[in-house]
A and B are shown apart, each in its own frame.
Chain A
Amino acid sequence: AQTVTQSQPEMSVQEAETVTLSCTYDTSESDYYLFWYKQPPSRQMILVIRQEAYKQQNATENRFSVNFQKAAKSFSLKISDSQLGDAAMYFCAYRKIQGAQKLVFGQGTRLTINP
Chain B
Amino acid sequence: DVKVTQSSRYLVKRTGEKVFLECVQDMDHENMFWYRQDPGLGLRLIYFSYDVKMKEKGDIPEGYSVSREKKERFSLILESASTNQTSMYLCASSLGGSINEQFFGPGTRLTVL
A residues bordering B, Cβ < 8 Å?
Answer: 4, 6, 9, 33, 35, 37, 43-47, 50, 52, 91, 100-108
Contact = CB atoms under 8 A, between A and B. Distances in A.
Contacts of A33: 99
B42 A101 contact: no
A32 to B, nearest CB: 10
B44 interface: yes
A44 B9 CA distance: 11
Nearest to A1: B59
Contact of A105 (B42, B50, B56): B42
Interface residues of B, number: 26
B51 to A, nearest CB: 12
Contacts of B74: none
B99 A108 contact: no
Contact of B104 (A44, A50, A106, A107): A44
A35 B45 contact: no
A2 B103 CA distance: 22
A7 B36 CA distance: 20
A46 B104 contact: yes
Contact of B102 (A6, A52, A101, A106): A101
B45 A45 contact: no
Interface in B74-113: 90, 92, 94, 96, 99-102, 104-107
